[in-house]
Chains A and B, each alone.
Chain A
Amino acid sequence: MSTALFGSVETGIIYALMALGVYISFRVLDFPDLTVDGSFVTGSAIAAVLITSGQSPIIATAAGTAGGFLAGCITGILHTKGKINPLLSGILMMIALYSINLRIMGGQSNVPLLNEQTIFTMITEFWTSLGISQPVNQSLAGIGIMDPAIIFTALILTFIVKFITDYFLKTEVGMALRATGDNKSMIRSFSANTDGLIILGIGLSNALVALSGALVAQQGGFADAGMGVGMIIIGLASVIIGEALFGTKSIARTTFAVIIGAVIYRIVVTMALLADFLETGDMKLITAVIVIGALITPKLIESRREKKRRLRKKAELSRAAPAEERSGQNAST
C-alpha cells in the first residue's frame, strides 16, 4: 500500500514537469495548447532512441527537451503567423507529431530501455558508490520508499525547474509573456513582439512537457507512441487540482500548487485503481471524472455558500422588519 503510494508520488513528481508546461501555456499565455499529447512522446522518443544508440542519458534527455521546444515553437508559428486558431494549431501539431514520433523511433511504436543506462540508473549507481546507501535505503524501504535515489533526483529536478520558472516569469521578458496572456494589445503598445512571445512561451511549455516525457521513458523503461494520449488532460487536472487546493496568490505559490496537484492526481488514480471493480484500462475515464469533479466542485461549493448567505440575509431582514413595525407604531401613538 505505502509502496504503491510512494510509487505514485515519484511518478507524480516527474509528471509535475509536464504540468508546469501546461501551466505556462494554459494559464500564463491563456493558450489552450494540445501539442502536449504529441510533444510528450517526442521527448521520450528522442531520449529513448539516443540512449539505445549509446548516447549519454543526459545528452539524450536534453535533446528530447529541445525536440519539444521545437514542436511548441511550430505550434506558436502556426497560430501567430498562419493565423490558425490556437486549439486547431495544437491539434494539427499533435497529429503531425504522431507520425514524426514514429519516424524518430525508426518505425517502431515502442522502444524498450531495459538494461540501458538511464539518468536514474546513473544516479542509483552514484548513490550506491557512496557506500552509505545500504542502511539509508533499508530504513527508507521501511516507510515504503523503494528507490530513494530516483525520488530525490526527481524532486530536486522538478524544484529546480520550478524556481527557474518563477524567476523567469518575473523578468522583463517573463512579464511581457504574462501580459501577452493577460492583455495582448496593451503589451503590444509597449513595444513587445507578442507573436514572438507566444512562440517562445509555447516552445518553453512544450520543452518542459518533453523533458517530463524523456524522464518518464527512462523511469518506466520504454518509449511508446501511445504514451501521450490524454496527457493534456492529466496536465490540466494537475493545474486545476493544485490551484483549487492552494490558490494562486503568487507565481511561486501557483507553480508549487501545480506540482502538488500533479502528485495528488497520481495518488487519486492509484487509490482508484486499488478498487476491485476498476481496471487499468479505466484510467482515462478516471482522469476525465477527476477533471470534471475538480472543475465543478468549487463552483458548487461557491453557489451553495452564496445561497446560504442569501437565506441568512433574508432571515435577518424578516427578523428586523417586525421590530421596525413595532417601533413605527410606537412613534405614531
Chain B
Amino acid sequence: MLRLEQVSLTFNEGTMDEKKALQNANIELKSGEFLTVIGSNGAGKSTLMNVISGSVIPDTGNIFINGQAVTPMQEYKRSQMIGRVFQNPSAGTAPSMTIEENLSMAWSRNKKRTLKPGVNKKKKEVFQEHLKTLNLGLEDRMTAQVGLLSGGERQALSLLMATFTEPDILMLDEHTAALDPSRAELITGITADVVEKFQLTTLMVTHNMQQALDLGTRLIMMDQGQIILDVAGEEKQNLTVEKLLEEFQRLRGEKMANDKAVLG
C-alpha cells in the first residue's frame, strides 16, 4: 500500500546547521496495517510524514502509494489518497465555516469539485449519520461555525473528515498532543474505532510511548533520521515502555534524551 525506498533528506546541507532529517528510510506498509512512529524531538518523525504527504520533497529515494510513484506529485494531488490529522486542532478545519461545510469539503477530497451546491439534503443526511458515531452531539449543531467548537470536538471532527472518505493512507501527526488527558483519551478511542471500521492503512506519529503501544499493529522507533527499531505482531504486543527504553539504550548506547517521550 505504502512503500518508501531509500528516502533521504538533509536540511541546510553544507552549513553549520546541516541536519540529516531522513537517512535511507525504507518502509513497506501493507494494506490495513496500523503503524505507530515514536522517537525523540528531531528524530525525523515529522519529516517522514511530510515527505509522504508531499509538503516536503525528499533529496533522493522514491515513495509509492498503491504501487504508484508519488514522489514528483504535488501535495494537493497526493492528498486525494491521503487523509491527514494535524497536531494543532485548528489546523484540520476551516474555523469560519460551518460543520456541514467542513464535512462537505472533506467529502470532495477524492472527487472533482463542481459548481453544484456543496451541501444538499442527501449529503446532510450522510454527514449526520457519520457525526452520530462520534457521540459528541455534533449532529445537532451542523450549522455551527467550527471555530466555536472546543479543541477536542474539533479534533474529533478533523478525524472524521480525514477518514470517512476512506483514504488509502491515514496519517496522524501527534493528533492528541495538544489536548488535555481526558480529551486525548477520547480521541485515541475514536481513532481506534474508525481505523478498525474502515480498515485504514495508518501511520501515527506520537510522543507518547504508551499510546504507541496501545494503538496499532506495528511500531517503529526513529533516531537521527534513521529507523532503529521495527516490531510488529506478537512482539509488539509484549512490549512495554521500560522495554522500549532499554532497547533504545542498547541500540544507541545512550539514554533516550527526551523525558517528554516517556512521560507524555
Cβ contacts under 8 Å, A174 to chain B:
115, 118
A199 to B18, CA, bound (A): 36
**Majority secondary structure of chain B interface residues (helix, strand, loop or mixed):** loop
B115 touches A168 (CB 8 A): yes
Interface band, chain B: 20 to 34
A190 touches B109 (CB 8 A): yes
* Cβ-based interface call for B61 (8 A): no
Produce 1/0 per residue, A184-207, CB < 8 A to B. Answer: 011111111110000000000000
**Closest CB in chain A relative to B155 CB, distance in Å:** 13
A171 touches B118 (CB 8 A): yes
Contact segment of A32-40, A87-95, A175-183, A274-282 = A175-183
**Closest CB in chain B relative to A25 CB, distance in Å:** 16
**Closest CB in chain A relative to B131 CB, distance in Å:** 17
Produce 1/0 per residue, B58-97, CB < 8 A to A. Answer: 0000000000000000111101101010100011111111
* Cβ-based interface call for A96 (8 A): no
**Closest CB in chain B relative to A178 CB, distance in Å:** 6
* Cβ-based interface call for B106 (8 A): yes
Closest B residue by C-beta to A183: B94
Cβ contacts under 8 Å, A186 to chain B:
91-94
**Closest CB in chain B relative to A111 CB, distance in Å:** 36
Produce 1/0 per residue, A161-178, CB < 8 A to B. Answer: 000000110111111101
A183 touches B108 (CB 8 A): no
* Cβ-based interface call for B117 (8 A): yes
**Closest CB in chain A relative to B236 CB, distance in Å:** 29
A153 to B79, CA, bound (A): 46
A191 touches B118 (CB 8 A): no
B96 touches A171 (CB 8 A): no
A192 to B79, CA, bound (A): 9
**Closest CB in chain B relative to A184 CB, distance in Å:** 10
A188 touches B79 (CB 8 A): yes
* Cβ-based interface call for B53 (8 A): yes
Produce 1/0 per residue, B96-115, CB < 8 A to A. Answer: 11000100111011100111
A172 touches B118 (CB 8 A): yes
Closest A residue by C-beta to B165: A190
**Closest CB in chain A relative to B172 CB, distance in Å:** 12
Cβ contacts under 8 Å, B105 to chain A:
172, 175-176, 179, 187, 190, 192
**Closest CB in chain A relative to B195 CB, distance in Å:** 18
* Cβ-based interface call for B243 (8 A): no
* Cβ-based interface call for B116 (8 A): yes
* Cβ-based interface call for B119 (8 A): yes
**Closest CB in chain B relative to A199 CB, distance in Å:** 14
Cβ contacts under 8 Å, B116 to chain A:
171-172
A190 to B161, CA, bound (A): 9
A189 touches B53 (CB 8 A): yes
A194 to B113, CA, bound (A): 13
B97 touches A178 (CB 8 A): yes
Produce 1/0 per residue, B215-235, CB < 8 A to A. Answer: 000000000000000000000
With A178-B94, A189-B92, A191-B76 given, is the CB distance from A170 to B118 under 8 Å? yes
A185 to B80, CA, bound (A): 14
With A179-B105, A182-B96 given, is the CB distance from A188 to B115 under 8 Å? no
Closest A residue by C-beta to B104: A175
A189 touches B118 (CB 8 A): no
Produce 1/0 per residue, B138-171, CB < 8 A to A. Answer: 0000000000000000000000010000000000
A194 to B74, CA, bound (A): 11
A170 touches B119 (CB 8 A): yes
A192 to B94, CA, bound (A): 13
Partner of B115, one of A172, A179, A183, A189: A172
What would 10 more interface pairs be, CB under 8 Å, given A178-B94, A183-B95, A187-B105? A171-B116, A172-B115, A178-B96, A178-B97, A179-B97, A185-B91, A186-B91, A186-B93, A190-B108, A191-B76
Closest CB pairs A-B (n = 10): A172-B113, A182-B94, A179-B94, A175-B118, A191-B79, A191-B80, A190-B109, A189-B84, A183-B94, A172-B118
- The 18 listed contacts between A and B (C-beta, < 8 Å) are A170-B117, A170-B118, A171-B117, A172-B108, A172-B116, A173-B115, A174-B115, A175-B101, A182-B94, A182-B96, A186-B91, A186-B92, A190-B106, A190-B108, A191-B77, A191-B79, A192-B105, A193-B76
